[in-house]
Structure 1
Amino acid sequence: MAWPAVLVIVPVGIIFILSGLIVNLIQAVLFILVRPVSKSLHRRINKIVAELLWLELIVLVDWWANLKIEVYADDETFELLGKEHALVISNHNSDLDWLVGWILAQRSGCLGSALAVMKKEAKVLPIIGWSMWFSDYVFLERSWGKDERILQSGFERLADFPMPFWLALFVEGTRFTQAKLLAAQEFAASRGIPVPRNVLIPRTKIKVLLERHSMQELPETADGIAQWCKDAFVTKDAVLEKYFSKDIFRDKKLQDIGRPKKSLFVMIFWSSLLAYATVRLFQWLSLFLASWEVITFSIAFLFLVTIIMQILIQSSESERSTPATNFTLSEGTRQRLLPR
């Protein structure tokens, strides 16, 4: 790892871990004391508390990576962002898709109420997973016999959510790679369904394309919903094909998302608070411990921070995502995928 990155990651890691544990403690107290009295009040307060944690990740994108996000959407979709409940069905093209979703949610005013359907292993992750559990994320077993009941109970639990929330779902089920695209294409060809070129078959400068569908547009039956989802991905694949060919949505409105200062203020708040607490802690330790013991304590703490950050980083990684561009098929596979 390059030294400039280390000089940023280590102090940020310390701030994130300490502040995250504080947020988790606050969430636990709220869950025990407030939720039994009023679930609605608990969710409203937890929204604010959760944002204190998630904004620390967003500040890295806004003020360190200096990333610019462009959103393509029609006027109605753009105006309604964050003002209504939404099921956000997204591609999974990189390890940081979830972070882009959080950035959009933060710009739309619903970062603290941005939820997701996730694998159950995530909820045991220190800080991030614990915060997600307190925030009513839906965690799956990846076994339909169990997940059918989990999804039903999770949706029922969210039915009385007191404010607009987003529920994110990566229906492709995995990150996009060339090998997985080939497997998806062969599966589609074997089943006689449209063969994708830019997305995987869904399981039944960053640019973001948003398309809104109201509940009135959706079928009412389970079979109808399943077919609608398949048709939506066929349409998405065709739209992405246009994008990759540089025919960039002339009928869409381009909105550039800037960098709000809220995330920076949150980072300054945590930095100042924890810096003061750290100085006071070492002053207190120096009264009871020798200098070498204080140094040993500091080294052990930094080592612990490094381990935890490594766990959090690796938990977000899988196979390295690769784009569909420059993807070539073997002649045999090409023949099998040709439309008949």
Structure 2
Amino acid sequence: MITLAELKKLRLIHLCIAITFFTSGLTVNFAQLLLHIFLKPFNKVLFRKLMYYLCYSFYCQLVFVADWYAGCKMRVYMDAEDEKKYAGKEHVLLLMNHKYEIDWLAGWMICDKLGVLGNCKAYAKKAIRYVPCMGWAWWLAEFVFLNRDFDKDKEIIAKQLKVVYSYPDPTWLLLNAEGTRFTPAKHEASVKFAQERGMTPLKHHLIPRSKGFTASIPTVRGICPVIYDINLAFKSDEKVPPTMLSLLNGKGVEPYMLMRRIPIEQVPEGDKEAAEWLQQLFVEKDRIIDSFYETGSFFKNSGIKEVPYKIYEPRLSSLLNFAGWATYSLSCIFYYLITSLLAGNWFGLITALCILGFFYWLMGAAINSTRISKASNYGAKAKASTN
């Protein structure tokens, strides 16, 4: 008899997840579009509250895969008082290391646990908004899309941050200050850049690109009270690689996350001073991650005050949400396939099978795009014009 672990590795199961995810994604995209056309011009507050639930319903399917399907257990280290008083109750600008294939999903996992998943947003490159389902969802949910042309982007940032933080409920906005995911080639270029300019080279991060940060801070002041510094790590001897493919095969991973709440007032005025503050923050982040790799603790060798960790239980809402979408999506697909077969509707049958094949290919393409080996070359070149 096939075991549950073996069942999760079957392509048929992966196809069912893909059908559910992309069918629901297209449905959510259509509902988002209707909100933009018929509600946003008349009631932006209600528009953004409803947008929260649409985004949550879509995003938390991947949280379900991590939490329930793969059984991931994430340890979150955060000051107990900050967690009790503030977590999930205020607007936040997130600064997070960008080294792993699923670091974004680890971020979604904690957003889900703190009740802000539907309002989590990010700075993203403009091309992503044209990607079916996820890109469209982000576009319609008012993410901050950038051209990687600073003269244009600084105007977009100033305008869009006011939109993002006008949401009535707590909103978390992610800024990957490194600009791109960590790879050996990009790290080599980053170290060379730092050495040429008398900066402290980083072992586990890329030198942060300060222009996006310094362009954001003047607008953020007064509308977003804090920065959350997120340090994510997986143990170097982790038997299961932290990838989407591992999760789809039902293999759980154990992320470790240190979250620090930094009041925005601690960031100094002035672009130069703010840029220097960001550089020093990343030097500190590097010590934190280095300590984790060396000792298994964020605190032993970093000089950072030790705080307790908490393992949040999976939320029932993500399980019920996925079950609902799966029932809707799969029942519609299989009903059409069966009725087409019985009626001899070969055109309809072949069309449906082609759509299923496209969904499976789309899932493979999405997984492939998260792989570090497929990361862009952005950041492997000279960084002089971007800091």
Compute the TM-score of the two structures, normalised by the length of structure 1: 0.87
Residue 277 of structure 1: how far off its partner (Å)? 2.9
CA distance in 1, matches of 2:152, 2:100: 28
CA distance in 2, matches of 1:239, 1:301: 47
Counterpart residue number, 1:270: 325
CA distance in 2, matches of 1:245, 1:237: 12
Is the contact between residue 124 and residue 143 of structure 2 (CA under 8 Å) also seen in structure 1? Answer: yes
1:220 is the counterpart of 2:274? no
Show the 5 A alignment for 1:112-131: 112-131=118-137
1:36 is the counterpart of 2:41? yes
Q: SS at 1:211's partner residue? A: strand
Show the 5 A alignment for 1:196-207: 196-204=202-210, 205-207=254-256
Show the 5 A alignment for 1:297-316: 297-316=351-370
Q: SS at 1:118's partner residue? A: strand
Residue 156 of structure 1: how far off its partner (Å)? 2.3
Is the contact between residue 94 and residue 320 of structure 1 (CA under 8 Å) also seen in structure 2? Answer: no
CA distance in 2, matches of 1:181, 1:276: 48
Deviations 1:218-268 (A, max 9, x none): 212222211111111111112222222216226211111222221111111
Is the contact between residue 96 and residue 175 of structure 2 (CA under 8 Å) also seen in structure 1? Answer: yes
Deviations 1:28-50 (A, max 9, x none): 11111111011121111100111
CA distance in 2, matches of 1:158, 1:55: 20
Amino acid at match of 1:269: G
Amino acid at match of 1:173: G
Residue 282 of structure 1: how far off its partner (Å)? 4.8
1:11 counterpart (8, 16, 31)? 16
Counterpart residue number, 2:314: 259
Amino acid at match of 2:266: E
Greater Cα radius of gyration, structure 1 or 2: 1
CA distance in 2, matches of 1:306, 1:122: 20
Is the contact between residue 175 and residue 319 of structure 1 (CA under 8 Å) also seen in structure 2? Answer: no
Show the 5 A alignment for 1:80-229: 80-204=86-210, 205-229=254-278
CA distance in 1, matches of 2:131, 2:374: 21
Distance 1:284 1:176, change over 3 A: same
CA distance in 2, matches of 1:247, 1:61: 23
CA distance in 2, matches of 1:176, 1:76: 33
2:285 counterpart (236, 244, 256)? 236
Counterpart residue number, 1:25: 30
1:246 is the counterpart of 2:251? no
CA distance in 2, matches of 1:89, 1:42: 28
Give the length in aligned residue pairs: 319
Is the contact between residue 95 and residue 177 of structure 2 (CA under 8 Å) also seen in structure 1? Answer: yes
Counterpart residue number, 1:60: 65
Is the contact between residue 125 and residue 312 of structure 1 (CA under 8 Å) also seen in structure 2? Answer: no
Residue 170 of structure 1: how far off its partner (Å)? 0.9
Residue 286 of structure 1: how far off its partner (Å)? 6.5
Q: SS at 1:235's partner residue? A: helix
Q: SS at 2:262's partner residue? A: coil
Give the 4+ runs in structure 1 shifted more than 4 A. 282-287
Residue 111 of structure 1: how far off its partner (Å)? 0.2
Residue 315 of structure 1: how far off its partner (Å)? 3.4
Amino acid at match of 2:197: R
Q: CA RMSD in A?
A: 2.1
Distance 1:240 1:283, change over 3 A: closer
CA distance in 1, matches of 2:371, 2:207: 21
Is the contact between residue 100 and residue 372 of structure 2 (CA under 8 Å) also seen in structure 1? Answer: no
CA distance in 1, matches of 2:145, 2:202: 28
Residue 290 of structure 1: how far off its partner (Å)? 2.2
Counterpart residue number, 1:71: 76
Which ranges of structure 1 fall in alignment gaps of 5 or more residues?
322-340
Distance 1:105 1:253, change over 3 A: same
85-94 vs 291-300, which moves further:
291-300
Is the contact between residue 77 and residue 210 of structure 1 (CA under 8 Å) also seen in structure 2? Answer: no
Distance 1:252 1:294, change over 3 A: same
Counterpart residue number, 2:346: 292
Deviations 1:34-86 (A, max 9, x none): 11011121111100111111111111101222111111121133222211111
Amino acid at match of 2:349: I
Is the contact between residue 337 and residue 352 of structure 2 (CA under 8 Å) also seen in structure 1? Answer: no
**Percent of aligned pairs sharing the same letter:** 30
Compute the TM-score of the two structures, normalised by the length of structure 2: 0.77
Distance 1:170 1:5, change over 3 A: farther
Q: SS at 1:213's partner residue? A: strand
